[in-house]
Structure 1
Amino acid sequence: MAHQLRAVGLDFVESAPVRFVFVREMAAPPEAVHRALADDVPGWPEWFSAVTLARSTGDGSTREIHLKGGGRFQETVLASEAPEVYAYRVDVANAPGLRTLVEEWRLAPSGAGTRVRWTLATDGTAAYRLVAKLARPGLGRAFRDAVTALDRRLAK
């Protein structure tokens, strides 16, 4: 059953009890990566395999996300500063024990390409925090695969 999560700001990325940071280099320039993240929300399932549906809602400041396995999220965009950052907070989720979740994508030039840093900041019940920590390797793999697929997509 979906439930309302605690509203936090972008500063939660630095203070979250559970925080994962993953980094990957891409050949695509930061502007193209930011456009794919922020402007082509419906395109996310084409490169992020865990996402089955992604769409902007309202005036584009909110999103609806569906994941493989049945995860459902309503999100608020916290920052969309091209080409450096794209971040969002989950407001409503059906994940048991989840209380707060913010994801931040930081983009920096790296040669002709982009250095992508994805931070997942979260909190929840003790059981949720344990499961989240155990999921770290899978999240890292999902990030690497997604960035690789996005880079291929942007090269076309």
Structure 2
Amino acid sequence: MVHRLRPVGLDFVDTAPVRLVFAREISASPKAVFHALNDDVPGWAEWFAAVTHARAIDGGAGRDIRLRGGGRFRETVIAAKEAEVYAYRVDVTNAPGARALAEEWRLVPAGTGTRVQWTFGADGTALFRFALRTARAGLGRAFRDAVVSLDRRLQG
């Protein structure tokens, strides 16, 4: 079942009932990481193992994302500041129990590389919030593996 979520802004990632924050330093520059996030949306399927399909929609103002296991998301980009931040909210999903979702990728220079911080903000039913908190370790591994893969891709 596909359903529409509550539209949220960038501030939601700081105030969401469930906030999962992960960070890792990589050798790629903030500008290169931002380009991969913002300008090469189809490339997400090459470096983020959970993503099976990604495409920009609405002239780059949105994204259509499919995940392993059947998750589907139609998103709106809510922040895109080169070499600093890339964020989006989910407008429509088939994830049961979700009411609002937003993700922020914060890019901070770290020596010659980048400290990438991914914040996942969510609201939903009690069961949905519990499931996300339970999935924290797995999401952390997925993030770590994704940014390591992205780093290799950008260095290659």
TM score, norm. by length of structure 1:
0.99
| CA-CA distance at 1:99 after TM superposition | 0.5
Corresponding position of 1:94: 94
Whole-angstrom distance in 2 between the partners of 1:116 and 1:64: 23
Return the letter of the residue paired with 1:35. H
Return the letter of the residue paired with 1:123. D
Corresponding position of 1:45: 45
Whole-angstrom distance in 2 between the partners of 1:105 and 1:58: 21
Corresponding position of 2:63: 63
Corresponding position of 2:111: 111
For residue 49 of structure 2, give the secondary structure of its aligned residue in structure 1: coil
Whole-angstrom distance in 1 between the partners of 2:58 and 2:14: 28
Return the letter of the residue paired with 2:47. W
Corresponding position of 2:136: 136
Return the letter of the residue paired with 2:6. R
| CA-CA distance at 1:58 after TM superposition | 1.2
For residue 59 of structure 1, give the secondary structure of its aligned residue in structure 2: helix
Corresponding position of 1:12: 12
Q: Say what the alpha-carbon RMSD is for the aligned residues.
A: 0.4
Return the letter of the residue paired with 1:33. V
Return the letter of the residue paired with 2:83. P
Unmatched tracts of structure 2, length 5 or more: none
Return the letter of the residue paired with 1:31. K
Q: Percent identity?
A: 65
| CA-CA distance at 1:59 after TM superposition | 1.2
Whole-angstrom distance in 2 between the partners of 1:112 and 1:76: 31
Whole-angstrom distance in 2 between the partners of 1:108 and 1:128: 31
Q: Deviations over 1:22-79 (max 9, x none)?
A: 0000000000000000000000010000000000011110100000000000000000
Give the total of aligned pairs.
156
Whole-angstrom distance in 2 between the partners of 1:93 and 1:119: 19
TM score, norm. by length of structure 2:
0.99
Whole-angstrom distance in 2 between the partners of 1:104 and 1:59: 20
